Structure 1
Amino acid sequence: MNAAAQYEARPANPGWLKRAEAWLDERGRPAWIVAMVLGFIVFWPIGLALLAYMIWSKRMFGKSCRSRRNSSANAYRQSFNAARPSGNAAFDAYKMDTLRRLEDEQKSFEEFLQRLREARDKAEFDQFMDERSRAPRETADEDRKEDA
């Protein structure tokens, strides 16, 4: 899914739960803990639900909510900016040519890696077959030596 499609897939007006989650994420783990404690004070199942959600979503024991949100938002913004035209036709043509060349290089590199994997697999298989064919000959040679 490209950046423009991801941007279009986001709802224009997220629900109050998503807005509350984003608000708490902006303030970090202490805000989540305060919300959980307040939930226990108001009505214990709310606090329990918040605790379960914090553990399930790795907000309790994972990285900081704020750093996770900022890193994903920055990655999204950067990928979206790379696809957006700058308004300068010469630069846009250069950028598209460079991106196309990099994609071709990546494709050829992946094909090279695939050929290396196939060569390694073939070498391992040939070694296995040699060892397998060698074992019956060696046992037959030992049997002949014992008979003699």
Structure 2
Amino acid sequence: MGFGQFLAAPEIKLKIVTYRDVFQNTAQESSRFGEEYEKLSAVVKLDSKDISRLSIKEDDTVIVKNGFGKVVVKAQKSGYEEEHSGIAYMVNGPWSNALVPDETGGKGVPKFKDFDVTVQGAKGEKVTGIREIF
């Protein structure tokens, strides 16, 4: 037994920005419950510094949660040249929608594009399945 097994995975606060993706949309048209759609949708794209802060590697699973929901998704590098530590990206879909605040500020429309979450490594956990979200 190593000392490290008793330490909690690092947890960081991030702002999620959602976006549309033509490849994910095409996979959804083919099969909303298919493997390809999940592979392209159950992802959070992170800045390299945030990946380091979480002590994870690309394609590791992470828990993304807030007061409105919790999902386990794959972590990937965003691929942006400019640093954006503290900001993560998720494609519009069931996994990001599970985290969207239900507060509308009196406007009647939830805040889909920009909301706060905490993220931590989820070593060994499976990605949340789409049927678990619905």
Task: Tell me the TM-score normalised to structure 1 length.
Answer: 0.19
Name which structure has the greater RCO, CA cutoff 8 Å, separation 6+.
2
The structure having more radius of gyration, on CA atoms, is 1
- The structure with more helix, counted as a fraction of residues: 1
TM-score of the two chains, using structure 2 as the length reference: 0.20
